[in-house]
Structure 1
Amino acid sequence: MRPHETEQVGLAHGGAFRLLADASATGGTLGANVLALAEGADGAAPHHHSRSAELFYVLGGTAEFFLNGTLTSLEQGGLVVVPPGMPHAFGAAPGVRAELLVVLVPGVDRFDYFRALGRIAQGLDSFDSLLPLQERFDVHFLDPSAWRSARRG
């Protein structure tokens, strides 16, 4: 994949997904994207994946990860692997941008999910539109209250 061949999906406050490889392009082996987050922006509210593990590599900035109820910060070069079934959430640390390489193994075709998140960020759709699609995208949403509380400090 050459950089000019990737699709960009804009998010709030200048953040964006760069879609690298969907599962259908890798024989189901993996899915990959790069996620740029604005200062302090949430990347994903609490959720889990029942069929896949998710790897996060911090390319730049500092990211916060809420892993099974524990908040952890990682700077550039940090790595997190989330096994199937583990509740997790993530975002850029307060006052800092973050850029993450995200790999889902085995892959699930999720580019349409990221496009939907872009529409939600632009106010063109609501988060509730994703609720019926949780199984399709293997993104199972959880109560966000503990994540929000941990982020507020």
Structure 2
Amino acid sequence: MTVLIRAAEAETLSASGVTLLADVSDTDGHLTSHRSIFQPGKEGAPPHLHREAAELFFVLNGSLRVLTGEDLVTLAQGDFLLVPPNTPHAFEAAGTDPAEVLFVLTQAKPRFGYYRLLESAYQGETDWAAVAETSDLYDNHYVESPAWQGR
């Protein structure tokens, strides 16, 4: 099955900086993918893990600070990172420029509902507790990380 998502047809969530590309319903269950733009000084995602999904990061522009396990790494334009299932990770823009990143999750549950819920929380329309309650539904489990807290 060939999947083509034209840039003009992709749904963009303006408050969170996420552009939805293809969900598992589009890819016959193979993967979900989105592009995000992270503004400097704003956390991209707090520490979390996916029990089932592996997550690929590809930096299109800027640089991204990433927690992977207990390690902090900075990815630059063109860098690739794969975070396996059950590995705590978090990320944010590094430096003074926005970071633009392509994400692909394999063995993923449908994710677009999660990103729309996040958008609603960013806009103040949904309580953040409602986001936390969806951890099993979207395979997004928040965790504590002393390494991330100490950055």
TM-score normalized with structure 1 length: 0.91
User: In the comparison of the two structures, how many residue pairs are matched?
Assistant: 147
Following the alignment from structure 2 to structure 1, what is the Cα–Cα distance between the partners of residues 6 and 106?
22
Deviation at 1:75, TM superposition (A): 0.8
Quote the residue 1:120 is aligned against.
121
Following the alignment from structure 1 to structure 2, what is the Cα–Cα distance between the partners of residues 95 and 144?
24
Quote the residue 2:47 is aligned against.
46
Q: Which secondary structure state, in structure 1, belongs to the residue aligned with residue 134 of structure 2?
A: helix
Cα root mean square deviation, aligned: 1.3
Deviations 1:20-43 (A, max 9, x none): 001111111000000011113211
Structure 1 unmatched ranges of 5 or more: none
Structure 2 unmatched ranges of 5 or more: none
Checking the alignment, whether the CA contact within 8 Å between 1:55 and 1:81 is kept in structure 2 is yes
TM superposition outliers: structure 1 runs of 4+ over 6 Å: none
Q: Does 1:3 align with 2:7?
A: yes
Checking the alignment, whether the CA contact within 8 Å between 2:72 and 2:147 is kept in structure 1 is no
Superposition pairs of residues 1-153 of structure 1, within 5 angstroms: 1-11=5-15, 16-143=17-144, 146-150=147-151
Q: Which secondary structure state, in structure 1, belongs to the residue aligned with residue 109 of structure 2?
A: coil
State the identity as a percent: 36
TM-score normalized with structure 2 length: 0.92
Deviation at 1:121, TM superposition (A): 1.1
Checking the alignment, whether the CA contact within 8 Å between 1:65 and 1:91 is kept in structure 2 is yes
Checking the alignment, whether the CA contact within 8 Å between 1:30 and 1:107 is kept in structure 2 is yes
Deviations 1:11-67 (A, max 9, x none): 2xxx51000001111111000000011113211100000111000000000100011
Q: Which secondary structure state, in structure 1, belongs to the residue aligned with residue 25 of structure 2?
A: helix
Deviation at 1:145, TM superposition (A): 5.1
